[in-house]
């Protein structure tokens, strides 16, 4: 069987550093908001290229806190995409703001900047650009729009730790950027974790308060806050794994390159390869007409594959009443019918990439 992802292979690859980090935390007797969280926040901020970072409970909460720190709330609108993990839209709804969902561009599968002007209203407060599948969004054009209207740009980097846009890492371009450390993400914890990075020192202070009951001083809430803390164990594990992230991303790119070589010429569309961007292949996503047929054939051959995502957020029951859709979303709806994610993780043997490619060749030859 060829698995789609393998958090176990990740753990085994970093076993001794992870176990040493866990032991250090256990022996320290300090398990919430201590040295490990603060060291990881500094290390990750440096690595990403943002001045400040706040560790939180998960990626969804990182988006909620970024929006709250930006002052987003009921009556406001936030423009983002429907072609994303539901968490992006769920976070907007959690603040009481209205998600305004626009289509993606067929070149990158990320927010189509040309549609932003038509989605704008006087209530618009922020734009969330999602670097989906590890592919940087078109930040130049999106930033032109946010700057013209004085809006905040939030980057959802949950699938793109370390991806580069014009040489710069994603998450260092917007006003705030959000990360998830769910075990299968490019940087994964052994459980849940997330982080918000930001540029502005006042927003940094707000984020720290929002993370823990609005406390500046213990037991005194200066503002309404949540409880969403990155814990010491996860922070220590992430700190131990961070030095390997560039190598892990390079391993993903090598597997993507192998897929490209082995799949070229077939009647399917390979992932975007955009000039001036370096993708980190959180997922390796192909497009084809008979997606369901290929998925069934791969399953028959013992190869796991997944669809990201089968039902676009704008068609899901939960958001029918809250969302605003300025325009139809034909590219999003077409992608939902055609995308298929192939096995992809840094430890995936190249021979297994070849086996997947061989199975796809057999499918088209049949
Ligand atoms: C995983 C993910 C999130 C949410 O992260 P969690 O840690 O699972 O809450 C948000 N946005 C995108 C694009 C994601 O892939």
- The overall pTM is greater than 0.75: yes
C-alpha–C-alpha distance, residues 340 and 338, integer Å: 7
Distance of alpha carbon 315 from its chain centroid, rounded?
21
For residue 105, give the DSSP letter: P
CATH number of the domain located at residue range(s) 7-242 in this protein: 3.40.640.10
Segments of the chain scoring below 70 in pLDDT: none
- Angle of helix 232-241 relative to helix 15-28, nearest 10 degrees, comes to 150
Give me the architecture of the 245-365 domain, per CATH: Alpha-Beta Complex (3.90)
| Residue 130, strand partner residues | 156
Strand pairing report for 77-81 and 124-130: parallel
pLDDT of residue 144: 98
Hey, which bits of 266-357 come out as E strands? 277-278, 284-287, 339-342
DSSP string, 319-352: GTTT-B-SS--HHHHHHHHHEEEEP--TT--HHH
Indicate the top mutation candidate among 159, 161, 179, 190 to test ligand 1's pocket, ranked by most ligand atoms within 8 A of CB. Answer: 159
Dist. CA 179 → ligand 1 center (Å): 8
CATH code 3.40.640.10 region(s) in the chain? 7-242
Are 136 and 271 in contact by the 8 Å Cβ rule? The answer is no
Question: What residues are in contact with ligand 1 under a 6 Å CB criterion?
Answer: 58-60, 84-85, 87-88, 130, 156, 158-159, 180, 182, 192, 194
Closest ligand 1 atom to 185 CA: 1
Listed in sequence order, the residues at least 6 apart from 14 whose beta carbon sits closer than 8 Å to its beta carbon are 240, 241, 244
pLDDT of residue 335: 98
pLDDT of residue 207: 98
Indicate the top mutation candidate among 85, 154, 163, 228 to test ligand 1's pocket, ranked by most ligand atoms within 8 A of CB. Answer: 85
CATH code 3.90.1150.10 region(s) in the chain? 245-365
Helix H segments across 49-98? 59-69, 86-94
Closest ligand 1 atom to 180 CA: 7
Listed in sequence order, the residues at least 6 apart from 73 whose beta carbon sits closer than 8 Å to its beta carbon are 95, 96, 97
Distance separating the N- and C-terminal Cα atoms of the chain:
22
Q: What is the pLDDT of residues 64-92, one digit of tens each?
A: 999 999 999 999 999 999 999 999 999 99
Dist. CA 365 → ligand 1 center (Å): 37
Phi and psi torsions of 54, nearest 5°: -130, 120
Closest ligand 1 atom to 194 CA: 7
Omega of the bond leading into 216 within 30 degrees of 0 (cis): no
Catalytic residue numbers read 185
Q: What is the pLDDT of residues 24-49, one digit of tens each?
A: 999 999 999 999 999 999 999 999 99
Closest CA to 97 of 129, 58, 62, 71: 71
């Amino acid at each position: 069987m060829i698995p789609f992802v393998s958090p176990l292979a990740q753990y085994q690859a970093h076993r001794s550093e992870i176990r040493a980090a866990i032991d250090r935390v256990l022996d320290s007797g300090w398990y919430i908001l201590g040295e490990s969280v603060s060291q990881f926040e500094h290390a990750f901020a440096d690595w990403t290229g943002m001045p400040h970072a706040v560790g939180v409970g998960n990626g969804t909460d990182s988006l909620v806190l970024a929006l709250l720190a930006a002052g987003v709330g009921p009556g406001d609108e936030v423009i983002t995409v429907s072609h994303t993990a539901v968490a992006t839209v769920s976070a907007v709804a959690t603040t009481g703001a209205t998600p305004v969902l626009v289509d993606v561009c067929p070149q990158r599968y990320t927010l189509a900047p040309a549609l932003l002007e038509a989605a704008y209203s006087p209530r618009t407060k922020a734009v969330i650009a999602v670097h989906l599948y590890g592919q940087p969004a078109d930040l130049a054009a999106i930033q032109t729009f946010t700057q013209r209207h004085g809006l905040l740009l939030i980057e959802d980097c949950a699938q793109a730790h370390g991806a580069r846009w014009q040489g710069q890492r994603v998450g260092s371009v917007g006003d705030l950027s959000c990360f998830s450390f769910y075990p299968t993400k490019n940087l994964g914890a052994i459980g849940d974790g997330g982080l918000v990075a930001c540029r502005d020192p006042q927003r940094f202070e707000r984020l720290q308060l929002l993370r823990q009951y609005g406390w500046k001083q213990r037991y005194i809430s200066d503002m309404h806050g949540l409880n969403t803390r990155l814990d010491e164990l996860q922070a220590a594990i992430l700190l131990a794994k961070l030095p390997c992230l560039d190598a892990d991303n390079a391993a993903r790119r090598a597997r993507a390159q192998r897929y490209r070589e082995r799949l070229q010429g077939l009647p399917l569309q390979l992932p975007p390869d955009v000039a001036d961007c370096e993708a980190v292949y959180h997922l390796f996503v192909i497009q084809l007409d008979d997606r369901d047929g290929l998925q069934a054939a791969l399953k028959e051959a013992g190869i796991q594959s997944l669809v990201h995502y089968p039902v676009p957020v704008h068609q899901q029951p939960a958001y029918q009443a809250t969302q605003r859709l300025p325009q139809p979303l034909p590219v999003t709806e077409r992608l939902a019918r055609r995308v298929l994610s192939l096995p992809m993780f840094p430890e995936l043997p190249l021979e297994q990439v070849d086996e997947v490619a061989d199975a796809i060749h057999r499918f088209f030859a049949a």
